[in-house]
Structure 1
């Protein structure tokens, strides 16, 4: 008897990148739900600069949750359709926008300070964007 994980991944294309995209998609849906339920996680990401408090409001947290859910859906489709150049490009854009967003909030706007809250999204967006760019020719024909 196969496990539930085997059933979910049975239709994924070969390779680690599709599994990574699926994993991040599932984690991101959890983050989206959390953004609607509590301000704590979003406030950890957007913790404000040294002297200013977190700028997170209930509306901005829900907006962030919606944006994260949309990105998650695109990444989910990319995990299963990684050979489709349009879907691959859309997933690339989600990571490129996340990269630009998180780094600009940290370095330009000062709504985030370097720490646990921003490090995770910054690393994930950087690694995923770099990995997808490097693997384009392996998946998209």
Structure 2
């Protein structure tokens, strides 16, 4: 993969998790009720402060995986785990919108799904051009 395109992919994968940490900060240290009111407006009674904090934990975990992927882009296992975090993100919001009817689509909340979808597609295509490190599996010999 061309160096400039690889650097841009690294930046792209890293920038959104960094931005997502602001949501996590707001959930834990700010007013979680604003997150609840703005995110899952389809059935507001089903969203609790506990659910908001769990969402914050998920966001933190996904952010750590994605930032690690951007730092170690040639690690094939980490690359695929990061791809799955985007797939889980898309699946979550799609199911909340179509199945559970808790997530109303507004412009502010279309953006995260669009970014996750674009990133997942880009990572899927880029995997054919990235030179991954060879995975060495070591077994214990008695």
TM-score (norm 1): 0.81
Q: Offset of 1:42 from its aligned partner?
A: 4.1
1:102–1:118 CA contact under 8 A, matched in 2: no
Is residue 2:16 matched to residue 1:28?
Answer: no
In the aligned structure 1, how far is the partner of 2:25 from the partner of 2:72?
A: 25
Matched residue of 2:100: which SS?
Answer: coil
In the aligned structure 2, how far is the partner of 1:65 from the partner of 1:132?
A: 24
Q: 1:123 to 1:16 in 2, by over 3 A?
A: same
Q: Aligned-pair RMSD on alpha carbons?
A: 1.7
Instruction: Pick from 85, 91, 95 the counterpart of residue 86 of structure 2.
Output: 95
Equivalent pairs counted in the alignment come to 126
Structure 1 partner of 2:38: 44
Q: Offset of 1:140 from its aligned partner?
A: 4.2
Structure 1 partner of 2:51: 60
Question: Any idea what the Cα deviations from partners look like across 1:67-89, whole Å, max 9, x if unmatched?
Answer: 00000000010001111100100
Structure 2: which 5+ runs fail to align? 133-142
Larger Rg: 2
Q: 1:42 to 1:18 in 2, by over 3 A?
A: farther
Instruction: Give the 5 Å matches for 1:3-14.
Output: 14=6
Structure 1: which 5+ runs fail to align? 1-12
Using the TM superposition, name which of 27-36 and 71-80 deviates more: 27-36
Using the TM superposition, name which of 131-140 and 88-97 deviates more: 131-140
Q: 1:136 to 1:42 in 2, by over 3 A?
A: farther
In the aligned structure 2, how far is the partner of 1:124 from the partner of 1:38?
A: 25
Q: Offset of 1:45 from its aligned partner?
A: 2.0
TM-score (norm 2): 0.81
